[in-house]
Amino acid sequence: MKVSIVGSGLVGATAAYALTLRGSCSELVLTDKDEKRAQAEAQDIAHASPVSHGTRVSSGPTEALQGSRVVIVAAGANQKPGESRLDLTGKNAAIFRELIPQVAACAPGSVLLIATNPVDALTDLATRLAPDHAVLGSGTVLDSARFRHLIARHAGVDPTHVHGYVLGEHGDSEVLAWSTVTVAGLPVDEFMAARGLPWTPEMRAEIETGTRDAAAHIIDGKRATYYGIGASLARITERILGDRRAVLTVSAPTPEFGVSLSLPRIVSAGGVQGTVMPRLTSEEQRALEASARVLRRRRPAWRGSGWRRCGRRGAGTVAGASSCS
């Protein structure tokens, strides 16, 4: 039950902390190009182990990934205020071109869980660079959690009783699939009516805006997001380790759309075992196809910058790296 994290910046370290507090694995290894940073993060997190679940936490070079069941890849450049996830494409593709073959060689048989943004494009790239590995991206697991959180606040219930999916790109073209949303098994409008609570188009628009703009708002206030994505990565990892066959909106290559994007996927020990295509409205289906077009249009750019020029010296795991989700 060994898990490794490549990239010990805010996202990688927070994922490691979440895994330790939740007792998700028995052994956890952090690695980073900045070895001192990886050592410091591992030591700090290891001090939480005796008062949580006793996870063995350490740091090491890329060779320390050997024997990992899951490798979380959180290495890359930070998303800056005013910068979109897709703006990160070229520089993070460059890092991946050098990094992913190293990870694949050091951790044969592992599942690679991509957290670095733009996660859909980099999931595509990692799939090509590590063809013998199961590869999936964190996708819209976090977006779906934000969506559920905001609905739960309006409904006045525990958010674990709200279900619904954000599909497509982890980014501006994401699709909030209202047709998939239920609260305690009821469509939102029926639940709100049963509880005597208001439910208006304005409330729905407020939830949509809050979901789409969450990352930008957080980054504007504190320069990065890491708690939500850290917990999301821990949850995905647990489902892989436990062969849980959980349904999660992770990103994976999707032939019918010609690109990696997020749909409800069955996630187990081998990574993505299948896709469950929800019954969408015609408007949602069009929006999902439009989201796929956005990703396909961007793909030639990351192929050019990421596949050909990424062998330059200095590329690799970046200290302080974050998926900035």
**Could you list the active site residues?**
170
Place of tokens 């970046």: 318
Task: With H, G, I as helix, E, B as strand and everything else as coil, classify residue 150.
Answer: helix
User: What is the spatial distance between Cα 190 and Cα 195, in angstroms, rounded to a whole number?
Assistant: 9
C-alpha torsion angle, residues 160, 274, 240, 317 (rounded to 10)? -100
Q: Which residues contact 296 (CB under 8 A, 6 or more apart)?
A: 257, 258, 259
Give the pairing type, strands 251-254 and 259-262. antiparallel
CB 318, CB 131: distance < 8 Å:
no
Question: 153, 151, 184, 148: which is closest to 165 by C-alpha?
Answer: 148
Q: Where are the alpha helices (DSSP H) in the chain?
A: 10-22, 35-46, 89-106, 119-129, 141-155, 188-194, 201-212, 214-222, 227-241, 282-303
CB 7, CB 75: distance < 8 Å:
yes
Inter-helix orientation angle 227-241/141-155, to 10°: 110
Question: 168, 156, 151: which is closest to 210 by C-alpha?
Answer: 151
Question: 142, 141, 148, 140: which is closest to 170 by C-alpha?
Answer: 140
